[in-house]
Amino acid sequence: MAKMMYREAVVSTIAEEMERDPNVVVLGEDVVGGMGTAGGPEAIGGIWSTSTGLFGKFGKDRVIDTPISESAIMGAAAGLALAGKRPIAELMFADFIGVSLDQIWNQIAKFRYMFGGKTKCPAVIRMAYGAGYNAAAQHSQSVHQILTGFPGLKVVMPSTPADVKGLLRTAIRDDDPVIFLEHKALYGVSGDVPEGDFAIPFGHARLARAGEDVTIVSSGMLLGFCERVADKLAAEGIGCDVIDLRTTSPLDEEAILDSVEVTGRLVVVDEAPPRCGLAADICAMVAAKAFASLKAPPIGVTPPHSPIPFARELESAYLPSDDKIEAAVRKLLAWR
């Protein structure tokens, strides 16, 4: 095991795959690293320090700075993938995916289907998402609920440095397009990361805590909130299964249903708004497939259906919290 930060796991995995496969290329705004300021190439490795060292090691033909045009980045990634490359395209903020949706939704996600499986589009689209930085409504959003709803895309949301490495390696080697969502609040989090050719298959959730009273499902930054709540409740003799989804498409329905069959209670904690969201989707799936096992109605803990506020106090009130998650668990336990 090696100890590294979430962002370091991103860089090291990309570097390893670029060394292994000369067809892997990186493109995006400021991936060369100067952030448009004094210091020159690789000053810090882009705004999130997730491409440090790549330009110096692999050169301008494989680490490509692009204009500030998300649509152009996605179009270039599509062309590279169709031409036999394995592009890793970075969107600086997931919030700006809207201007590139035609390339992602109508082109990249559908090539294999439209051409009867005779072509493939192995593009990885990395993007930073999530709140917690007081960056307001246009730089703090969680967009996975939109992308999960697009057939043809695989959607990945790693919660730990180890999962970054295992899931990103799988994404780069996948012959279908993959959305790889990295929570901004996790970039500085450290953890043990397996060495060597470590990969995690998609569609296999991780059991972060084990218990028999309540099932809690989450991913990304909020998984840590759920783990803290589970640890606190465990001291009272309340056992929580905490499931880290890892991927929202494919979704590990079996892991969720198996847990609910034991606990009979479900809380889904998600950072996206509630309407047409992941929490509602999972609650509906469980209600349809495990209704006889439920001891109480499933609960989603999400932000309200509104844009994310800027003020620190308002953002804290907007997001799911330890207290809100704990309250949901206790509500289910009190159900008669």
Provide the CATH topology of domain 206-334: Rossmann fold (3.40.50)
- Per-residue pLDDT tens over the stretch 202-223: 999 999 999 999 999 999 999 9
Tell me the pLDDT band of 42, cut-offs 50, 70 and 90: low
Please indicate whether residue 183 is annotated as part of the active site.
no
Q: Under 8 Å CB-to-CB from 264, ≥6 apart: which residues?
A: 293, 294, 295, 296
Classify residue 143 by its DSSP letter. Answer: -
- Per-residue pLDDT tens over the stretch 165-180: 999 999 999 999 999 9
Give the closest residue to 27 by CA, choosing from 156, 135, 101, 125. Answer: 125
- Reading phi first (left if > 0) and then psi (alpha if -120 to 50, else beta), residue 33 is in left
Tell me the C-alpha distance between 114 and 51, whole Å.
33
pLDDT at 43 over 70: no
Q: SS in 3 state form for 268-329?
A: EECCCCCCCCHHHHHHHHHHHHCHHHCCCCCEEECCCCCCCCCCHHHHHHHCCCHHHHHHHH
pLDDT at 20 over 70: yes
Domain ranges of the chain: 2-193, 206-334
pLDDT score recorded for residue 1: 87
- Per-residue pLDDT tens over the stretch 95-147: 999 999 999 999 999 999 999 999 999 999 999 999 988 888 888 899 999 99
Alpha-carbon separation of residue 7 from 39, 170, 274 (angstroms): 21, 17, 29
Same fold, 2-193 and 206-334: yes
Alpha-carbon separation of residue 109 from 24, 34, 216, 233, 278 (angstroms): 19, 32, 31, 42, 20
If you classify domain 2-193 with CATH, what class do you get?
alpha beta
**What percentage of the chain carries pLDDT values higher than 90?**
88
Tell me the pLDDT band of 36, cut-offs 50, 70 and 90: very low
pLDDT at 40 over 60: no
Average pLDDT, the chain: 94
Residue 222: CA count within 13 A, CB half-sphere: 31
Residue 155: CA count within 13 A, CB half-sphere: 24
Bridge partners of residue 209, in order along the sequence: 242
